[in-house]
Amino acid sequence: MESVGEMNELLWSRTSLMSTKAKRVTSLVGREHVEIELRSGFVVVSGKSGIQAVPVNGESLIMCDGRRMLTIKTFDRVVRLVFNSIEEKSRWSEAIKEEQRAKNRKKLSDFKVIRKLGEGGMGQVFLVQDAKTGERAAMKVVEKDSDITSTALRRAVDERLLLESFNFPFIVDLKYAFQSEHHLFMLTEYCEGGDLHHYMKRRNYKISEHTVKNILAELVLALEYVHQSGAIYRDLKPENILLDGSGHVKLAD
């Protein structure tokens, strides 16, 4: 069965991009009929013998050994998949190679930490800057827990999947999500106005009626969008209502 580290990787991966049934697999799970899925950075192989996640990154070697056979080699394992047709093998080969390229696009060393923005129940948040483009973002850092059912990890995964599916002007935009051996990283747009709690505190809680109406209207629209998407927002508080440089609402967390 999968290790805790592999399960954490699966939880952090986006929902399946591709899936199919392979005729046969020769790997750590033995030789049998299996189901395989392509997730963000992983080929997930599941059968009666268990589940394993095969990383697809710059160190993985992808080889087409035969008309219907595809081999994935990593530093600690070799997985050979036999597909039902040449066309299906070719489709998977191209998709895995594209995922391999995508896996190497962003990593922690691509960003410079400017300062700490805050800390919450899920982890710490830092203001970071892309070393190449100069773009700023808010980076949430969640420590991986040895317990795969940890609340923080589950919440981080839920937040990542939801933000990835959202596209709304009053909800923070997810830019990147990646991980290291011990941490999960999620980068969202940086909101220069800070959170609503500090915004009100800086003004001694004296805010014009016009500003209050605008904030409430945008907040209601954001919540309506979330709920219509099938999710329920259960942590509404001033600290989770961010404001961009123009004072517009960006719902977070």
Where residue 190 falls among pLDDT bands split at 50, 70, 90?
A: very high
Where residue 31 falls among pLDDT bands split at 50, 70, 90?
A: low
Rg of the chain over Cα atoms, rounded to whole angstroms, equals: 22
How confident is the model at residue 55, as a pLDDT? 74
Helices (H), 27-122: 86-103
**Mean of the pLDDT values across residues 212-217?**
96
**Mean of the pLDDT values across residues 236-240?**
94
Q: Is the pLDDT of residue 223 over 80?
A: yes
Give the span between the Cα atoms of 152 and 20, in whole angstroms: 32
Where residue 253 falls among pLDDT bands split at 50, 70, 90?
A: confident
How confident is the model at residue 149, as a pLDDT? 47
- Greater confidence (163 vs 227) lies with 227
How confident is the model at residue 19, as a pLDDT? 47
How confident is the model at residue 159, as a pLDDT? 83
- 91-138: per-residue pLDDT in tens? 888 887 777 666 556 788 999 999 999 887 778 999 999 998 899 999
How confident is the model at residue 244, as a pLDDT? 94
How confident is the model at residue 150, as a pLDDT? 63
List 65, 147, 158, 235, catalytic entry:
235
How confident is the model at residue 27, as a pLDDT? 39
CATH 2.40.128.20 at 4-103, yes or no: no
How confident is the model at residue 157, as a pLDDT? 76
Rounded to the nearest angstrom, the gap between the alpha carbon of residue 76 and the centroid of all alpha carbons in its chain is 25
- To the question of whether residue 140 is assigned a binding role by annotation, the answer is yes
Average pLDDT, the chain: 78
Q: Is the pLDDT of residue 178 over 70?
A: yes
Domain boundaries in the chain? 4-103, 108-251
* Residue 97: strand, helix, or coil: helix
Give the span between the Cα atoms of 55 and 229, in whole angstroms: 31
How confident is the model at residue 53, as a pLDDT? 73
Instruction: Respond yes or no: is residue 173 known to be catalytic.
Output: no
Instruction: Look at the block and give the residue holding tokens 């962003």.
Output: 106
* Residue 158: strand, helix, or coil: helix
How confident is the model at residue 242, as a pLDDT? 96
Q: Is the pLDDT of residue 67 over 70?
A: yes
Give the highest mean pLDDT range of 11-25, 58-72, 114-128: 114-128
Q: Is the pLDDT of residue 213 over 50?
A: yes
CATH architecture of 108-251: Orthogonal Bundle (1.10)
How confident is the model at residue 24, as a pLDDT? 41
The number of helix segments (H) and strand segments (E) in the chain equals 5, 14
Q: H/E element holding 8?
A: helix 4-12
Where residue 2 falls among pLDDT bands split at 50, 70, 90?
A: very low
